[in-house]
Structure 1
Amino acid sequence: MIHIVIPVFNRKNFTRECLLSLKRGTNQNYSIVVVDDGSTDGTADMLREEFPEVKVLFGDGNLFWTASVNMGLKYALQHGAEYVMTLNNDLEVAEDFIENTYKWIRQKPNAVIGALEMDAVTREPFCGGEIIDFKRNKVRYLLNELPKEKQVGLHNVSQLPGRGLLIPRAVIEKIGLFDQDRFPHYVADYDYTHTALRNGFELYVNYDAKLYTYPEESGERKNRKEKSLKNFYNHLFDIKGGGNLRDFTRFTLKNCPAPYIPYYLVNGVARRIFGYLVH
């Protein structure tokens, strides 16, 4: 059984729709752990009344994404999970999402596998895996390279986001949980998948397992859309800032090959500063 871990903070309507989409699935062989990190909008009451089968753990509002996920992972592992999946609450899954996840588990039982992200509004593919080139500080987006007829099955990648990320127990036993000390909110998922890759585990994106996201709902998108000095500061320094320089520096020092670190750091900092101003 897959144990699905969903960290939440408010936005109970998103959480409800996410859980309902899982309920509509063709395969119900999963269990759910929701980690509610101090929601104040009635999320806990909604979960208790509408989804009594869901296990709910509680934080005090200071866990953020990474520590919330780790709390859920620990619970799942303590209850015998062989596979865990991290899933954000601001998305919905396709009806055959779990079915097509199990399909590839049977063929790649020790691989870390991500999902194909679709735009929930346009219903078009949005994110289909990334291959990073540290030497040139570039990211190849697999979705842009694959013709339509090849957008099926598994494809190798070098990093994966935490939305629909399937992790075998064997991976956690070897490399541990997410690095909540260095990366309390963003980047922890990319760091984790790089760590798994360095330790000999394969990374794939599963084009048969589709989930639907709302990219415009992210805090970083709103920071960029409503430009101000405050949002610029938040972008670079806030714990939820998508361009957080501390997180980027820590990620680089931990994951970038040593010869490429100086260029990667300088180029990356410039991209985060000037990218915000021009986009």
Structure 2
Amino acid sequence: MILILLVNWNGHEDTLACLRSLDAVQRPAFDVLVVDNASSDDSVARIREAFPAVEVLESGENLGFTGGNNLGLEYARQHGYEYVLLLNNDTEVAPDFLSPLVEALEADPQAAAAGPLIYYHALPQVVWSAGGAIDWKRGETRMIGLGEGDEGQFDGPPRPVDFVTGCALLARTRILEEVGGLDERFFTYYEEVEWCLRMQRAGYRILFV
């Protein structure tokens, strides 16, 4: 069972576009949860009207990216989902994006999380992320492939990376029992980097697919 998790805050137009792209994903089967961070617009009503099968969980306050996702991660754990995908609400996915991520984790028991190749929305053949790397000497992170044209250089089998972006991150739900969820001290930005590091310290790999 797979849960796809979106966090929305006053962004129903982006969220609806994302949900429409998910509608084109044929397999594997999945459920969708939208955590609404106390939007002051009519996001909740619009999402429920357009996608009545999508579960909308209202947080009651703006918990940020981190807190909103943690609410969804706990929902996934309590409802017995095997995998949970963090997906930014301002993304649009390819119809075949999900299967390779699931297959990569199923093929590698020591992999805790996986992320796909991500492009700029306005420049669909220009890479935004092919996984992430950490420069420990400088204390910096970078997106692998940032700004490169896609000429097939990132094709091939899944490969280990330091982290994958929370923009699109598939994780085993059971990892929550071992390392916990996202660290809410970050609120937004770098929380997925630290989460991936915790997974690696627990002996797991992070894969770019």
Question: If the length of structure 2 is used for normalisation, what is the TM-score?
Answer: 0.90
User: Greater relative contact order: 1 or 2 (C-alpha under 8 angstroms, separation 6 or more)?
Assistant: 2
String of CA shifts for 1:6-41, please: whole Å, max 9, x gaps: 111012110000001000113150111110011122
Cα distance in 2 for residues equivalent to 1:137 and 1:188: 15
Cα distance in 1 for residues equivalent to 2:29 and 2:109: 16
Cα distance in 1 for residues equivalent to 2:108 and 2:24: 26
Residue aligning to 1:127: 129
> SS of the counterpart of 1:92?
coil
Show the 5 A alignment for 1:10-49.
10-27=10-27, 29-49=29-49
Cα distance in 1 for residues equivalent to 2:150 and 2:55: 41
Residue aligning to 1:76: 76
CA separation of 1:170/1:77 partners in 2, compared to 1, >3 Å: closer, same or farther? closer
Deviation of 1:164 (Å): 1.1
Q: Which has the larger radius of gyration?
A: 1
Which structure is higher in helix share?
A: 1
Cα distance in 2 for residues equivalent to 1:140 and 1:48: 37
Of 190-199 and 97-106, more deviation after overlay is shown by 97-106
Give the letter aligned to residue 179 of structure 1.
Answer: D
Contact 1:171/1:201, CA 8 A, preserved across alignment? no
Residue aligning to 1:157: 161
Gaps of 5+ in 1: 207-279
Deviation of 1:61 (Å): 3.0
Paired residues in the alignment total 205
Residue aligning to 1:219: none
Q: CA RMSD in A?
A: 2.0
Deviation of 1:190 (Å): 1.1
Residue aligning to 2:189: 186
Residue aligning to 1:92: 92
Deviation of 1:148 (Å): 3.7
CA separation of 1:80/1:149 partners in 2, compared to 1, >3 Å: closer, same or farther? same
CA separation of 1:137/1:4 partners in 2, compared to 1, >3 Å: closer, same or farther? same
CA separation of 1:40/1:110 partners in 2, compared to 1, >3 Å: closer, same or farther? farther
Show the 5 A alignment for 1:104-123.
104-111=104-111, 112-123=113-124
- 2:64 corresponds to 1:60: no
Give the letter aligned to residue 116 of structure 1.
Answer: L
Identity %: 33
Contact 1:5/1:85, CA 8 A, preserved across alignment? yes
> SS of the counterpart of 2:95?
coil
String of CA shifts for 1:101-122, please: whole Å, max 9, x gaps: 2332331244211121111111
Cα distance in 2 for residues equivalent to 1:147 and 1:38: 38
